[in-house]
């Protein structure tokens, strides 16, 4: 009994430390005090939400938001389709399967950051600089997610697949009718991971966007910071508005997401 109490105390302290930056962010975003006042107030002074209105109108927030949503949607759709297909193909026996798997695994060791210069040059050759497709292209398929799908498909009982095959279903139909309905955690993990990765991506858009019209939210944030410094609560309202969609998607899908991530992580 005493042991349990001790565990809760430790975890509560950890939770407070983990949540403190969130609190400080929210507090600064809704406060109307001079944020440089010392000592800072622990509770917001005259809380108000007008900082959010300022962000909406005084910077091209709607434009950034639209760009981010378009890129993320392309990336999520691409990930679902391509990863499910590739993951399914890897569960089937074929010549060279092992080498494909080894190839994919060694690709995970190539950090995206190590490829930026040629990737930029390739995208320039394709004529996709400063376009939605160019922004989403490198994110259209992710190896980790392919293995999450593969792990989930491997867990589908063989007898089900054989029965479907005897019924004369083609591979495409087996994937759509048998495999995917049984793999909701993997689908959730795929959606959440690909959404978060494309939503949060900074370095790639930084390199390949030229015009302000194509900038995504993280670029907008960095740009706002560079010309306003951190002198206004509006910056933090901006941060809250940028974080909210990602957190919302994560919290909605979190139980399935955690399940999918843990099975995928230990198997892949």
266 touches other proteins by CB under 8 A: yes
141 touches other proteins by CB under 8 A: yes
Tell me which stretch binds other proteins (CB under 8 A): 16-24, 69-77, 127-135, 155-163.
16-24
DSSP tag of 149: H
Q: Which is nearer to other proteins, 93 or 159 (CB)?
A: 93
Which residues ranging from 72 to 131 are in contact with other proteins (CB under 8 A)?
Answer: 82-83, 85-86, 88-90, 92, 94, 98, 100-101, 103-105, 107, 109-119, 121-122
CA distance 102 to 58: 50
Tell me which stretch binds other proteins (CB under 8 A): 69-77, 127-135, 155-163, 244-252.
244-252
167 touches other proteins by CB under 8 A: no
Tell me which stretch binds other proteins (CB under 8 A): 69-77, 127-135, 155-163, 164-172.
164-172
DSSP letter for each residue of 64-102: HHHHHHHHHHHHHHHHHHHHHHHHHHHHS--TTHHHHHH
58 touches other proteins by CB under 8 A: yes
163 touches other proteins by CB under 8 A: no
Q: How far is the CB of 158 from other proteins (least distance, A)?
A: 16
Q: Which residues contact 129 (CB under 8 A, 6 or more apart)?
A: 123, 208, 209, 210
Neighbours of 234 (CB within 10 A): 19
Q: For residue 218, what is the enclosing H or E element?
A: helix 217-228
Q: At what angle do helices 61-91 and 50-58 cross, to 10 degrees?
A: 90
13 touches other proteins by CB under 8 A: no
């Amino acid at each position: 009994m005493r042991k349990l109490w001790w565990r809760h105390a430790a975890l509560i302290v950890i939770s407070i430390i983990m949540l403190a930056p969130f609190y400080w962010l929210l507090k600064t975003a809704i406060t109307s005090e001079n944020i440089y006042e010392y000592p800072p107030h622990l509770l917001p002074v005259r809380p108000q939400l007008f900082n959010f209105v300022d962000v909406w109108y005084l910077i091209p927030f709607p434009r950034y938001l639209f760009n981010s949503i378009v890129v993320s949607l392309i990336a999520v759709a691409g990930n679902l389709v391509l990863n499910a297909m590739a993951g399914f193909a890897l569960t089937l026996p074929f010549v060279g399967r092992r080498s494909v798997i080894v190839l994919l695994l060694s690709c995970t060791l190539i950090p995206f950051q190590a490829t930026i210069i040629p990737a930029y040059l390739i995208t320039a050759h394709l004529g996709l600089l400063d376009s939605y497709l160019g922004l989403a292209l490198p994110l259209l398929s992710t190896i980790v997610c392919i293995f999450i799908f593969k792990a989930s498909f491997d867990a589908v009982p063989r007898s089900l697949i054989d029965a479907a095959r005897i019924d004369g279903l083609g591979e495409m139909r087996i994937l759509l009718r048998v495999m995917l309905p049984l793999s909701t955690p993997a689908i959730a993990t795929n959606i959440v991971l690909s959404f978060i990765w494309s939503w949060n991506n900074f370095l790639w858009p930084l390199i390949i966007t030229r015009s302000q019209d194509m900038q995504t939210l993280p670029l907008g944030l960095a740009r706002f910071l560079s010309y306003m410094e951190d002198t206004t609560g509006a910056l933090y309202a901006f941060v809250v508005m940028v974080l909210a969609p990602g957190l919302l998607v994560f919290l909605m899908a979190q139980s399935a997401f955690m399940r999918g991530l843990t099975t995928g992580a230990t198997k892949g």
